Amino acid sequence: MVISYGHSGLWGGGMRQLLFNTRPSEAAFGHFGAVGRYALAARRGMHAFSRGPETWKHIAMGQRKWANLNPAAIMHAKPMSEEDYYGAPLVVDPFRLFDNCQMNDGGQAIIVTSAERARDLKHRPALIMGLGLDNPCNEIAQAQYTAGPTGAKKASQAALNMAGISLADVDACQIYDCFTYTVELTLQDYGFFGYGEGEDWFKGGTIEPGGRMPVNTSGGQLSEAYFMGLTPISEAVMQLMGRCGPRQLGPATQTKEPEIILCSDNGGTLQSHACLIFRRG
């Protein structure tokens, strides 16, 4: 089975329609699209954690360092400094430009087959160890969990249970990163750090090349390209296959050679969540 995602997000207009043709009852107040909705969630996070951009800059800059190792990344040739991060224009405050994912033309695909058939293929496969889903809310304005826990908590518990592992067994993460805040909240709900302790956990290069928990090693949606759930999943699979070249986890990037990679997908405005765990085949 092929799972593919292709889109002319920049030129086709379909993604723009999806994101910006919103409900008239919200648009009458000037509220449009994903960035506004996630900005509302992120502000509540800032209220709860007393931190915001101080945490998110580590995510934006850390992922950019991975993109700088990925020739396919849109932002490959563009390093990002702290001055670049803070100097970028505000889009919808609290989000600056580099808190937002990109909009791209392109696509990605993965092939799903049985472990038995995969044995005969050219590349060593990645095996699916665990899956979890949780969809907590239909009407985001009524949601009072936008500083967590979101669906990520239950979804990851289900996926870890199915895989029979704990977070300590995870070597790297590929997290759906429509906005920097989504990465903070997802990893917090997964239990990598305590409530509001994100800044301490991210600082010092935790998620970067050479870091102890690499996150979004292609550059992610922020700095590689936005292909919905395929951005994190395809990167997890490619890393476990050992096909990532200069950004390959292991000795090339002074990181642990990956046995197990945890992925997330997220829909609506933190309204639906999927957690997937892959293992090297």
Partner 1 sequence: MSVERILPAPDADSKPFWDGCREHRLKFQQCAECGEVRWPPSILCPRCHSQDTRWIEASGRGVIYTFAVYHQAFHPAFKDKLPYVVAVVKLDEGPMLLTNIVGRPPESLACEMPVQVEWDDISEEYSLPKFRPI
Give the CB-side neighbour count of residue 138, counting CA atoms within 13 A: 0
Q: With CB under 8 A as the rule, give the number of residues binding partner 1.
A: 31
Residues 82-121 within binding reach of partner 1 (CB under 8 A): 89-94
Choices 29-37, 107-115, 152-160, 163-171; region in contact with partner 1 by CB under 8 A = 29-37
C-alpha to C-alpha distances, 30 to 16, 24, 238, 254, 270, nearest whole angstrom: 16, 9, 41, 47, 21
Q: What is the CA radius of gyration of the chain?
A: 18
Shortest reach from residue 179's CB to partner 1, in Å: 12
**Other beta carbons less than 10 A from residue 127's beta carbon:** 15
Give the CB-side neighbour count of residue 204, counting CA atoms within 13 A: 7
Choices 23-31, 62-70, 199-207, 248-256; region in contact with partner 1 by CB under 8 A = 23-31
Two tokens, residue 161: 């249970």
C-alpha to C-alpha distances, 274 to 121, 157, 176, 255, 261, nearest whole angstrom: 28, 11, 10, 26, 14
The catalytic position among 85, 181, 190, 226 is: 226
The DSSP code for 215 is B
Shortest reach from residue 178's CB to partner 1, in Å: 15
Shortest reach from residue 35's CB to partner 1, in Å: 8
Applying CB under 8 A, among 7, 9, 40, 213 the residue interacting with partner 1 is 40
20 touches partner 1 by CB under 8 A:
yes
28 touches partner 1 by CB under 8 A:
yes
Decide: 254 and 210 in contact? Cβ < 8 Å.
Answer: yes
27 touches partner 1 by CB under 8 A:
yes
Q: Of the two residues 47 and 243, which places its CB atom closer to partner 1 in the complex? A: 47
31 touches partner 1 by CB under 8 A:
yes
The binding site for partner 1 (CB under 8 A) comprises: 20, 23-33, 36, 39-44, 47, 89-94, 139, 141-142, 144, 146
Annotated active-site positions, please? 176, 226
